[in-house]
Structure 1
Amino acid sequence: MNVDLAGIPIAILGGDRRELELAKTLLDLGADLRLVGFPPHPNLNSAKFLSDAETAVSGVKVVIAPMANTDSEGHIFTRLDQREPIDLTVILPKLTKDTLVLIGVAKPVIAELAHQQGLKLIETAEIDEIAILNSIPTAEGALQLAMEEMPITIHGSRCLVTGFGRCGKTLAASLAALGADVAAADRNKAQLARAVTMGLTPIPLADLHRYTDFDVIFNTVPALILTADYLKKLDSKTLIIDLAAAPGGVDFSAAEEFGIKAILALSLPGKVAPITAGKILSDCIPRLLQEMLEGGGGNAV
């Protein structure tokens, strides 16, 4: 599919180096691009750099917020220019009905406001093509963290991956390829069956309390599953790396109380492989925008 975004007014509000790569691609495709939260860049000379988000979104057809999302109150803190956060709850009411709004995962306040305003909200992190490809730099970043934090090798280590979705599968496969003894926990029986086919130990999430002998636990479930009751059963040397969206799936206060190191590792693709992660967005987002702008439906929620 040949993508042509010539003259389409698009605003990118905040972001990291992933959105920087996307901005370059959108300019190459002819978009009328307005940027807030980015310092001047030699490859973005034809973009409009603005300090005021309300001015930037005036008359646009598309607003792109970061893959790194907002906080629970709707503020965008991810900015390459390190300036004050952007309040997306102030911006959305300024948009006209049917404006496309893209964001990694919309917090409830953003989802509700977009619905009230008649906006077309697209959660980019939930699009299979993006999520599956993003699982690669996420898994590599998680492995890097584990290697830096553990006094032992991944090879021969006892690993648990909680949540066996798109990210969990890629991570578990990478761990197994390095010679780890990997268990996968999930609620879904089909996912657990898939874990068996990969040579992993399947654990129903309801039975997780029976399994505590791990060197490292990687969580991908965006809900509290590693509770205080579970954490107190672990060896204090167990390392926990939480990859789920904030606030994660770990009781971090309890982990600290029990002397367990627990790391909330957010937005790893943008930190460990921003060029690759940016290319993923650049390959997918322009095509999605053209489909949506032409009335193709896409993934609006």
Structure 2
Amino acid sequence: MTNLKWCVIGTDPRMEKLAILLKNLNVQVLFLQTKAWSYQVERDLMSFEPDILVLPIQPLEIVTDTIGLDYFENVQKCFVGKLSPEWTRFFEASEIDIERYLENEQFIWLNAKLTAEGFIAAYYLEEHETVAGKHFMISGFGRVAKLLATQLKRMDAHPQIVVRSPVQLAEAQAMGYEVKKLEHGISCEKSIFINTIPAKWLTADYHSLLTTCQRFYDVASSPGCLALEGDFSHTYRLYTSLPGQFLKEDAAKLLFKCVTESVQHLKGGTLCYKESE
């Protein structure tokens, strides 16, 4: 019997839960709770010699002089989230088989659904009040925004979509949402603002949003949309990795399904990780 050896890296709670789910399949798992690629990580990988490596959604900070290929010598597949320029150059120069789970459509949509539900959990924790009857302005109209607007509407809240794209404005309006163009000097009209746009667009031109909204929740990817200097902690809240924070069990199961289904063709990659007799 030959078992695949897995190494899971990251501080997001879903990564630790993923390691537990893998261990329940009686495979060898090394879990490294860190945000950085360090000399200690290299020593651990050299000792463990994993076949499968799962990197976190946010790219690991590199605190070594370089990333050595020696530490990937036995890696048959590496699952990656977002990649920094340094990690991109490394993988492009190597022959390592990588799979970007953030490009898996099923994972993306279901993770977006968890993000929407995670916001509701964060809102309850922060505000201690129901969403019913409240007015929300949502910037962007991608997967997270669509699922979040749907969820809020079902809960008797009043979501309004705020975007710059004429196409997205028309799409949101056709789907029955109130819409407003995201433009300089826009007012939030004392609504609760939720950003889903993964770009640092909140500049001085949009400062009025922070002064007119009840609360500004940023649920886009790190580092969020805030591009202003100053202390906005009384209004602005950055909530990244909501599935891992509030729905870590379901988030881990989703990632588990994504990575295990992708290794069936590898040596030792059956569901029970046994070689055929």
Mark the CA change 1:129 to 1:9 in structure 2 (over 3 Å): closer, same or farther: same
**Do the aligned partners of residues 18 and 93 (structure 1) sit closer, same or farther apart at CA in structure 2, a change above 3 Å counting?**
same
Match of 1:218 in 2: 194
Residues in 2 aligned to 1:122 and 1:244: alpha-carbon distance in whole angstroms: 22
Structure 2 residue matching 1:142: 3-state secondary structure: helix
Aligned to 1:228: 204
1:60 corresponds to: 50
Whether 1:22 aligns to 2:18 is: yes
| CA–CA distance in structure 1, aligned partners of residues 266 and 158 of structure 2 | 44
RCO (CA 8 Å, sep 6+): is it higher in 1 or 2? 2
Tell me the distance in 2 between the aligned counterparts of 1:263 and 1:19.
24
Partner Cα separation in structure 1 for residue 104 and residue 178 of structure 2: 28
Over 3 Å counting, the alpha-carbon distance change for 1:99 and 1:192 in structure 2 is farther
Which runs of structure 2 are paired with 1:163-178 in the superposition (5 Å)? 163-178=140-155
Other-structure match for 1:274 = 248
User: What secondary structure sits across from 1:289 in the alignment?
Assistant: coil
Matched with 1:200 is 177
Query: Identity of counterpart residues, as a percentage?
Result: 25
What is the 5 A alignment of 1:1-301? 7-29=3-25, 31-37=27-33, 52-58=40-46, 59-67=49-57, 69-70=58-59, 73-74=61-62, 90=67, 94-96=71-73, 99-150=76-127, 153-205=130-182, 207=183, 209-232=185-208, 234-251=210-227, 253-254=229-230, 256=232, 261-290=235-264
Alpha-carbon distance between aligned partners in 2 of 1:104 and 1:88, rounded to the nearest angstrom: 22
State the superposition RMSD in angstroms: 3.3
1:83-132 superposed Cα distances (whole Å, 9 cap, x missing partner): xxxx6963666324985322332222222222122333333234221121
Provide the C-alpha distance between the structure 2 equivalents of 1:88 and 1:12, rounded to a whole number of angstroms: 22
What TM-score results when the alignment is normalised by the length of structure 1?
0.72
How far does residue 255 in structure 1 lie from its aligned partner after superposition?
A: 6.1
1:44 corresponding residue in structure 2:
none
* Structure 2: distance between partners of 1:92 and 1:191: 44
Query: What are the ranges of 5 or more consecutive residues in structure 1 without an aligned counterpart?
Result: 39-50, 76-86, 295-301
Give the number of aligned pairs.
262
**Separation of aligned partners in 2, 1:244 and 1:218:** 9
Contact map agreement 2:164 2:181 (CA 8 A) in 1: yes
Q: 1 CA distance for matches of 2:70 and 2:139?
A: 38
* Unaligned residue ranges in structure 2 (runs of 5+): 269-277
Tell me the distance in 2 between the aligned counterparts of 1:188 and 1:92.
Answer: 43
How far apart are residue 16 of structure 1 and its match? 3.7
C-alpha distance in 2 between matches for 1:215 and 1:135: 23
Q: SS at 1:34's partner residue?
A: strand
